[in-house]
Every structure is written in C-alpha cells, then in structure tokens.
Amino acid sequence: MDAAACAVGRIGPDGPWIGFAPAIDDGYELVIGGADDAPRRSLADGDDLLSIAVAYFENDLDEPPEQLAATHGDIGSLVRHVAEHAPDGQRRRLLGEAVDAVDDGLPADAVVSRLRLCLAGAEDPVARLLRRVAEISGGRLTP
C-alpha cells in the first residue's frame, strides 16, 4: 500500500500536482497526480527532494489541492531526511544549516538560499521538477 502523498503545487492552474511521499525503503518518492489518473510515483534523490522544498518556500507553482497540501512540518521532515542521508560531511553541514533554517521559521528567502547551497547540481529547482514530472508522466504535463 502506498503512503499518503503531500503536494507542494500544481503545474498550471488545472495541471497535475507534484508532491512527495515516504517510500518503503526509508526513502521518498516524487508523486505526480492528476484529476483522472492514479498518482504516479518515482524514487526521488536528494536534489529532487530539495527542489520540492525550494518550490514550497518560493511559491513558484500554482496552489496544490488543499486536502494534500504539504505543511511546514512536512517540508522540515523532508529536508531532515536528506540531511541524515547526505553522502559527505560538507553537504551534511550545509543541510544541517538548512534544517535549522526551516525549524527556526526563518523567512522564506533565507531558507531558500540555504537549500540552494545544498543542491548537488546546477539545474534550477523548478526546472528540475518540471523535467521530472515529464519523465514520470511519460511527457504528459496535463491530467
């Protein structure tokens, strides 16, 4: 049975929503949902999850379905998970600062700047999410 998903936004006002859910293997999945289809899931890596967190704090996506909307606490748990599984000390230290920023309720721009420092790749977080949505949904960006 799949764990309940939390959504951080929609790709357009009537488009699919994107979110995350815990996976059985102590990881997380990216979850893409639409009005007509069952949600699609794919294992997420650290940059996927950090991109989700950045999108949440930047409000770059349209509003998610209210009943699935991620909370600040959900995002804090997500970032904490990435920090706990960081492969190296430098990234773990940066992620610790990001966790503190989320937990301390710092302004969104301060949290985002810390989260962006933790990304391993140079791809824009929202562009990454759009690419992942297309991959997971087989190129479809509408429900």
pLDDT for 77-136, tens place per residue? Answer: 999 999 999 888 888 999 999 999 999 999 999 999 999 999 988 899 999 999 999 898
Comparing CA positions, the residue from 54, 40, 55 lying closest to residue 116 is 54
The pLDDT, as a whole number, for residue 56 is 96
**Domain assignments of the chain as residue spans, ordered by start:** 6-136
The pLDDT, as a whole number, for residue 87 is 85
64 Cβ partners below 8 Å, 6+ apart? 7, 8, 9, 10, 17, 19, 70
The pLDDT, as a whole number, for residue 36 is 66
Percentage helix, strand, coil for the chain under 3-state DSSP, each rounded to 5 = 45, 15, 35
Please give the backbone phi and psi of residue 44, each rounded to the nearest 5 degrees, phi first: -110, 145
The pLDDT, as a whole number, for residue 12 is 87
Measure Cα distances from 69 to 65, 89, 96, 111 in Å: 6, 32, 25, 19
> pTM to 2 decimals?
0.91
